[in-house]
Structure formats: structure tokens, C-alpha cells
Structure 1
Amino acid sequence: MIVDSALYRDGVRVAGGGDPPDYATLRAGVRRPGDFVWLGLHSPSADELAEVADAFGLHPLAVEDAVHAHQRPKLELYGESLFLVLKTLWYVDDTDQVETGEVNVFVGADFVVTVRHGAGSALEPARLALEADPRLAAQGPSAVVHAVADRVVDGYLGVVAELQTDVDEVETSVFSGLRTRDSARIYTLKRELAEVRRAVQPLREPVRRLAGGQIALVDGDIEPFFRDVLDHLTRAAEDVDTMEALLSSAFEAHLAQISVQQNDDMRKISAGAALVVVPTLIAGVYGMNFRHMPELEWTLGYPFALLLMASVVAGLWVFFKRSGWL
């Protein structure tokens, strides 16, 4: 599906692509230095992307990656064109899960084609922000790549902030002293952090190349903006590492607390069993049917047995209480 298509001249949008757009006509509008086309697609079919590839001369390997999606974040050069893959992330409050999508960016000297997969991280805000700053948009396709990357990485920071809230809740629960079942949630959060890591870590090197003047298609005036994106990306990666370590520590503490709680339970069970076993022993001895037993004919034998049981139980209870077993 074609989301938007436009021709930009001196940083100002001057024409759209029509509905449906005529790709050849749209690209033919590029007549002066600085003119460029930005075409945005969402989950296109193979036939739709093939038409775009013919009009803009996209490399078939890059087109194949964009059709099938599920690619690792990467930056590849094909002749005079650039192919960038970014993972998009968004947080679902209802399920406390991180969902993923993908943005493929084809960049040439006078065009940018963005192919988006997934429901999250719409690129319309990035387009509107770029169109609101003609001076930045005048930098051409480099400015579009920055706008897309900045939008995606800002999405990472939002997801990381949501996960940080969840990690804080788990920490509070683990160290609350209550009997909680946090292992399942800790595992879920570690899995979601792994999903974020798969999007963040591989993207650091491509953005570093874009910020370091290693790509000829990137305008020198845009490189500082990519350094800002790299800074945000590094912060997100560090936050993920920190949360991973905190969850590992919380899980170990949770297991230690379970072990301590089990030991406390066993001590209490043992103490309770002792309180029952001693009077049972006395009653068992006096309940045996023998003719010749000490104090069998004694008038106070029964009260004495009961008093003995109560005294021993009381003594054991005091002892266990002082020992912390009860």
C-alpha cells in the first residue's frame, strides 16, 4: 500500500504522486540539484515493490529483503544506492509485551523509498516534522534518513522507559518480604529485553557509519544529527544492559528468598511436630495395657500425666519461640 509520495525542491514539498502514483513521472520531476522524491509504502506486495524497483533502479537483493522482511538491522551499499534496515518497537500496555516491526530504507542521490512492515512506528510524524523545517529538508535524502532513524530510535527510548517501570515493579515485589510469584514475570521481562536488544545492538554500527562520514550519500551537515541519534541509541543499549543485570540479580534474590522461606516453613513444621509428638509419646506409654506399670494405681496419675504433657509442650513452645522457629 502506498502511504505517501512527494517531490521536494529546496526542502519544500512541491508535488504529490497522485493516486495511484506514477513513479516514472514522479521521478522525472527531479530536474534541479537538491530535488528528491520520498516514496513511502506499507507492507507492499512483491508486484507493487517490483514496479517501484523498476522506476528507481533498486537492487534486486535489497528488494528481496524488503519484501520478506524479518531482517537484521544493517546498512548495505549497492553501487550508488544505500539500503538501511531498522527494527521498529512499540510497547503494548495490555499485555506488557514489546511488539516489533521493520522499516527498509532505499536511498539514492535523488530519492528515498521507505518500506514499513508492522503496525507500530508510523513515519508520517517524521515526514511532517521534516516538512516543517525546509532548511533541514533541503539537505536532501540524508535528511530523510535521519528523520526516519530518529523516529525509530525515539521509539526505542519510549519502550525502554516502559520496561524500566516494569523492572522497578518487579524489584519492589521481590524485596517486599511478601510471598510473591515473580519468576514468570522476570522471565517474560528478560525475553522482552532480548527483543529490544536484537533491535538496538546491531543498529549501532550502521548509525556510527552514517555519523562518521563513511557514507558518501550522507551530507556532511547531517552527520552531527546522526551523532545525536547514535547517542540515543547508545543510551538505550546501556539501559537494556542495566535492566538485564537488575533482573538477573532480582531473580537470584527471589530464589534465595524462596529457599529461606522454605527453611522457615520446615522449622515451623518441625517445631509443630515436636509439640504434638511429646504428649503423644506420654499418652502412648500410659495407654499400653500392662498390669504392672509405675503409678498405675495412683489416684493422681491421670492429672499428673496431663500436667506433664502440658508442661513439656509449654517448655518446648518457649524454647522454639526464643529460637525463632515459631
Structure 2
Amino acid sequence: MTTPVGDSPEVTAPTERDPVLACGVYVDGMRIPGEWSPTRAAAEVRSRGEGFVWIGLFAPDAEQIRDVTEEFGLHELAVEDAVHAHQRPKLEQYPDNLFAVFKTVRYVEHDSPTTANEIVESGEIMVFLGRDYVITVRHGNHSSLGHLRKDLEQEPERLTAGPAVVLHAIADRVVDGYLEVVEAFEADIDLVENAVFALRSDIGVEQMYLVKRELMELRRAVMPLISPLRKLSEGHCGALVPDTLRSYFRNVNDHLTTVAERVVSFDELITTLVDATLAKVSLQQNNDMRKISSWVAIIAVPTMIVGVYGMNFDYMPELKWKYGYPMILSITLAACLMLYRLFKRNRWL
């Protein structure tokens, strides 16, 4: 498998035959020009005894990743996770490498959070980190690393620290994405809050649960990443992550903590808004039942009188009286008006 790399960044979509988006060899922070396959790149680094390989893959299947697995000795369980995706953020340490999973998120533009079908779109980036290689596996069209690769190549002094720099750059880029989504999500929640407490609001419980569902997707990306970043910042990963990078990972972890706190507060606020929406619905239903009951009581008066005088008896009160009919109508109307005023005064109508 060969992929032309040149000076261009990693492309956003692979060919159908080859999942390798980019493969580069970096020595002293500089990318060596040329076309590299994973096998040739690994041989080049090992023959030099310095530098590292950065391979970018997009949604490979088990057959497509087999050569990379055998060449770099990747653990079969980690490879299985990388192929099938849908993993929670985590960090696993093996004898010769690390396996990290990051969930990426993207804010989906929409007219209103109360009418949108999707607010947050997620993807995944898996990273295999070894002594002389870093392999990234992407799932999701919005999780491109092409610009990240290009930015790092413009700062060769950073890449001299080794492949762990790429792991830090990916973690930093992912968490920055969380911050952007949180900012946009906060504006949506403000709109939802205003709609819930507006005098005339048509927002329903279904829309509220949609917002909460999207927030839970964001939370599933953010919260599990706290522990892996803490391990990276505290130096629990051995020589694969130099001590010089620990402060950088701590900075990323601080940003993630900020995001996590805001996500938790959003979750609590949405739960409160859901409860408020349910209370409003219940109150509206009670008001509707009051109105229905009031009109039923008003209608019951003429129904009862008409029912009594509709019986076929010869001796009925005022049946033969000249003014009996208008009197009964007057009494019926007066009773209905009295009940109407009573219910109106008590705010049932």
C-alpha cells in the first residue's frame, strides 16, 4: 500500500482500495520527502535509528489493517477496537505501545434547538503510540487530522520530542473542539430556557428530550476522557510520554475539566427545564380540565330542567300556566349565568 504524500496535508476521505490517508517519516522534526508505505517507512526509521513514522488511516477493516498490525506489533484487542469503533474514550497501556481513544464532536448548524433533529455529531480518533511510530485511525468525516499534521510540520522543533507530541496535539485539538461545541450549546440552552418560561410557548417535552439526548452524547465524549488525560499528565505511561510533555497534557486536562464542569451544569439545567416543562404541561391540563368541568356544570342545569319537563306526566308544576314556559327559560338562563360568574370569579373560566 503506497500513498503519495509530498507536502500536502492528510486528505479527508480515503480511496476505496486503500485506507491509508497519509504516511510520513519524521527525523529531527522534519518530514522526509518521498512516497512511503507503512513497511518502507518503518524500515527507514529503524535503519536510521532515529525519528518516527506517522501513519493516518481512515475506517480500515481487519484485512486492510493487517499489514500495519504485523509490522508494528499492535495488540489484537486494540486493533479490534480500532476496526469496529464505537468505543468510549480510554487509554490502554501495552508492553510496547499505548492505545488511546478520543471521541470527536461537531456542532450541527440548525435554525432552532426546538426543531432540530441533530445538534451534536460524533466521530472517533484512535491512536497507537510506540517508541518510533504513531498510528491514527479515524472514524467520522468531521475528524480530519490533515490540518493538524500540516500545523505540526510547520513547527519541527515540536516534533523533535517524538511521536508523543502527535498524541498531545490530537488531545488538544479534540478538547478544543469540545470547547467550541459547548459554547454553541450554551446559546441553544439559553434559547430553550427562554422558550420554556415564555408566556406563550409551544415547546414540548419531545423537543426537550431531544436536547437532553444530544447533551448526553456530548457528555459521553467528555467525561470518560478525564481519567486518560490525568494518567498522561501524571506520568503513568512510562517512557513513551516524556516528562517534558506532562505539563502540556496538564494544560489539556485543565481545559477538559472546564468543559466537563459546564457539561454537568448544562445537564442539571436541562433536567430542571424538563421538570418545568412537565409542570407547565400538567398545569395546562389542569386548567383545561377546570374549563371542561365548568362548562359541564353549566350545561347540566338546562339539561336537568329539560329532562324533568320532558317527562310525560299530566300533573307538572306550572304546566298549564300561560307564563310557565318563559319563566322556566328565565330560571334556566339565570342559573347558567350565576354559575358562569361563579366559575369566572374563581378563575376556572
TM normalised by structure 1 equals 0.89
Percent of residue pairs identical: 48
| Residues 313 and 7 of structure 1: CA distance in aligned 2, closer, same or farther (over 3 Å) | same
Aligned match for 1:91, one of 107, 129, 136: 107
2:98–2:130 CA contact under 8 A, matched in 1 = yes
Q: Which is worse superposed, 159-168 or 183-192?
A: 159-168
**Deviation at residue 206 of structure 1 after TM alignment:** 1.0
Aligned match for 1:213, one of 226, 235, 243: 235
**Deviation at residue 202 of structure 1 after TM alignment:** 1.9
Instruction: Specify the alignment match of 2:74 in structure 1.
Output: 58
User: Unmatched 5+ residue regions in structure 1?
Assistant: none
Q: Which is worse superposed, 168-177 or 309-318?
A: 168-177
2:91–2:101 CA contact under 8 A, matched in 1 = yes
Secondary structure of the corresponding residue to residue 310 of structure 1? helix
Secondary structure of the corresponding residue to residue 240 of structure 2? coil
The Cα offsets for residues 56-115 of structure 1, whole Å up to 9 and x where unpaired, read as: 333333333322323332212222322212222233346324333222211122221111
2:108 aligned partner, one-letter code: V
| Residues 58 and 277 of structure 1: CA distance in aligned 2, closer, same or farther (over 3 Å) | closer
Work out the CA distance in 2 between the residues paired with 1:293 and 1:60: 97
The Cα offsets for residues 149-207 of structure 1, whole Å up to 9 and x where unpaired, read as: 11222222333334434433333333224463522222223332332222222211111
2:133 aligned partner, one-letter code: F
Work out the CA distance in 2 between the residues paired with 1:105 and 1:148: 9
Alignment of 1:3-14 (within 5 A): 3-14=21-32
Aligned match for 2:139, one of 117, 121, 129: 117
TM normalised by structure 2 equals 0.83
Work out the CA distance in 2 between the residues paired with 1:296 and 1:44: 94
2:23–2:38 CA contact under 8 A, matched in 1 = no
1:7–1:36 CA contact under 8 A, matched in 2 = yes
Query: Is 1:105–2:121 an aligned residue pair?
Result: no
Instruction: Specify the alignment match of 1:37 in structure 2.
Output: 53
The Cα offsets for residues 243-299 of structure 1, whole Å up to 9 and x where unpaired, read as: 221222222222222221111111111111222222333334444444434333433
| Residues 203 and 102 of structure 1: CA distance in aligned 2, closer, same or farther (over 3 Å) | same
Q: CA RMSD in A?
A: 2.4
Secondary structure of the corresponding residue to residue 180 of structure 1? coil
Instruction: Specify the alignment match of 1:131 in structure 2.
Output: 153
2:40 aligned partner, one-letter code: T
Work out the CA distance in 2 between the residues paired with 1:10 and 1:162: 40
1:55 aligned partner, one-letter code: E
Aligned match for 1:256, one of 252, 260, 279: 279
Instruction: Specify the alignment match of 1:300 in structure 2.
Output: 323
Instruction: Specify the alignment match of 2:5 in structure 1.
Output: none
Aligned match for 1:23, one of 35, 38, 43: 38
Instruction: Specify the alignment match of 1:141 in structure 2.
Output: 163
1:104–1:116 CA contact under 8 A, matched in 2 = yes
**Deviation at residue 219 of structure 1 after TM alignment:** 2.3
Work out the CA distance in 1 between the residues paired with 2:82 and 2:314: 97
1:103–1:115 CA contact under 8 A, matched in 2 = yes
Secondary structure of the corresponding residue to residue 206 of structure 1? helix
Secondary structure of the corresponding residue to residue 348 of structure 2? coil
Q: Count residues in correspondence.
A: 323
Work out the CA distance in 1 between the residues paired with 2:201 and 2:130: 59
Query: Is 1:230–2:253 an aligned residue pair?
Result: yes
User: Unmatched 5+ residue regions in structure 2?
Assistant: 1-18, 111-116
Alignment of 1:272-291 (within 5 A): 272-291=295-314
Instruction: Specify the alignment match of 1:81 in structure 2.
Output: 97
| Residues 142 and 303 of structure 1: CA distance in aligned 2, closer, same or farther (over 3 Å) | same
Secondary structure of the corresponding residue to residue 222 of structure 1? helix
Secondary structure of the corresponding residue to residue 29 of structure 1? helix
